[in-house]
């Protein structure tokens, strides 16, 4: 078997193309959607991510604002910045790029973003909505993976899904989104016994671990759909490698998201989708 490649760029372009008329309509009748991104300090990876987010906003006609407090910012100062953004009507989404410096109480900062402007879907109110399956902003990477599965018409109901990783950003919301689509879901983590055996039972295997090539051929049931969320630096530090052994996935899986080019492009697309959704909500319902 040679796996069908699930192309994240194709899915991203579809998502963005669907957003464009919604943005134009809002801009013509009221104002464009607005996203504020807070980037503390000079973490190289964070700077790249934020650049990508701001650039995509520009391409779509979403108003964006980058706020760059210094590395030594205090929790109180950040809370003040967020409170200001919470109050501004033209800002629909607030994104605090993580990681934050050690002196900052990340939890307080996260809690201070108004839930209806939490376009990352990290606020406990939005996490609660996810658990209860109530519409609210969803974490972008898992939401993007669900879009990808939908657009490639990959059946989920009744399938056995295994998610490796239980982070608040990827693993947990991923598992809940699959559960809401009636998959039978197992969540694995670093203390899971017989990880390969658990994974091998999966019809849909999602690897969100952060360990290069941890998922080898022993983990993959022939015919499984394999979603590789991992974004790891390769040994020479230049390219990206996933959590899944690509050769094994290509040989055994029925469908596979490569790294790069699979899941990666979806996150920013879903951030844009969450921002547009928030703006529509704000403009219609205040």
Measure the CA–CA gap between 151 and 149, rounded to whole angstroms. 6
Long-range contacts of the stretch 246-250 (C-beta < 8 A, 24+):
248/215, 248/216, 248/217, 248/220, 249/3, 249/215, 249/220, 250/2, 250/3
Please identify which of the residues 53, 117, 159, 172 carries the catalytic annotation.
53
- Applying CB under 6 A, which of residues 206, 209, 226, 278 lies at the interface with ligand NAP? 209
Answer for the pair 175, 185: CB distance below 8 angstroms, yes or no: yes
* Catalytic residue status for 97: yes
Beta-carbon contacts of 254 under 8 Å, excluding residues fewer than 6 positions away, are 1, 3, 4, 223, 224, 225
Of the candidate spans 130-138, 151-159, 197-205, 223-231, the one that interacts with ligand NAP by CB under 6 A turns out to be 223-231
State which H helix or E strand residue 162 sits in. Answer: strand 160-164
Of the candidate spans 16-24, 96-104, 176-184, 226-234, the one that interacts with ligand NAP by CB under 6 A turns out to be 226-234
Contacts (CB under 6 A) with ligand NAP, residues 34-93:
none
Cβ of residue 232: shortest distance to ligand NAP, in angstroms?
A: 5
Cβ of residue 127: shortest distance to ligand NAP, in angstroms?
A: 15
Cβ of residue 139: shortest distance to ligand NAP, in angstroms?
A: 9
- Applying CB under 6 A, which of residues 4, 31, 160, 166 lies at the interface with ligand NAP? 166
254 CB neighbour count, 10 Å cutoff: 16
- Indicate whether 143 belongs to the interface with ligand NAP (CB under 6 A): no
Question: How many residues line the site for ligand NAP (CB under 6 A)?
Answer: 26
- Indicate whether 178 belongs to the interface with ligand NAP (CB under 6 A): no
Which residue is associated with the tokens 């790891």? 232
Cβ of residue 249: shortest distance to ligand NAP, in angstroms?
A: 16
Answer for the pair 69, 81: CB distance below 8 angstroms, yes or no: yes
- Applying CB under 6 A, which of residues 141, 203, 221, 257 lies at the interface with ligand NAP? 141
Answer for the pair 214, 208: CB distance below 8 angstroms, yes or no: no
Residue 86 tokens read as 């919470």
Q: Which residues bind ligand NAP (CB under 6 A)?
A: 141, 164-167, 169-171, 188-192, 195, 208-211, 214, 229-232, 263-264, 267
Query: What positions carry a catalytic annotation?
Result: 53, 97, 120
């Amino acid at each position: 078997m040679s796996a069908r490649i699930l192309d994240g760029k194709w899915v991203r372009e579809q998502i963005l193309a669907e957003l464009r008329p919604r943005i134009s309509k809002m801009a013509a009748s009221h104002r464009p959607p607005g996203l504020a991104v807070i980037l503390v300090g000079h973490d190289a990876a964070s700077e790249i991510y934020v650049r990508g987010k701001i650039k995509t906003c520009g391409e779509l006609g979403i108003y964006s604002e980058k706020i760059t407090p210094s590395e030594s910012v205090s929790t109180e100062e950040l809370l003040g910045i967020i409170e200001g953004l919470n109050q501004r009507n033209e800002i629909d989404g607030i994104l605090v790029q993580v990681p934050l410096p050690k002196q900052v109480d990340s939890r307080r900062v996260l809690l201070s973003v108004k839930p209806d402007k939490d376009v990352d879907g990290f606020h406990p109110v939005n996490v609660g909505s996810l658990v209860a399956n109530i519409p609210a902003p969803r974490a972008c990477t898992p939401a993007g993976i669900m879009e990808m599965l939908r657009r490639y018409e990959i059946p989920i109901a009744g399938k056995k899904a295994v998610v490796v990783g239980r982070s608040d950003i990827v693993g947990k919301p991923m598992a809940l989104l699959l559960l809401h689509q009636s998959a039978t879901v197992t969540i694995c983590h670093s203390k899971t016994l017989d990880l390969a055996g658990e994974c091998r039972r999966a019809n849909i295997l999602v690897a969100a671990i952060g360990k290069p090539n941890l998922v080898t051929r022993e983990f993959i049931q022939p015919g499984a759909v394999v979603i590789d969320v991992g974004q790891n630096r390769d040994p020479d530090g230049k390219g990206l490698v996933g959590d899944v052994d690509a050769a094994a996935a290509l040989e055994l899986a029925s469908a596979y998201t490569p790294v790069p080019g699979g899941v990666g492009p979806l996150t920013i697309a879903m951030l844009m989708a969450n921002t547009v959704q928030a703006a529509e909500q704000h403009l219609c319902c205040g």
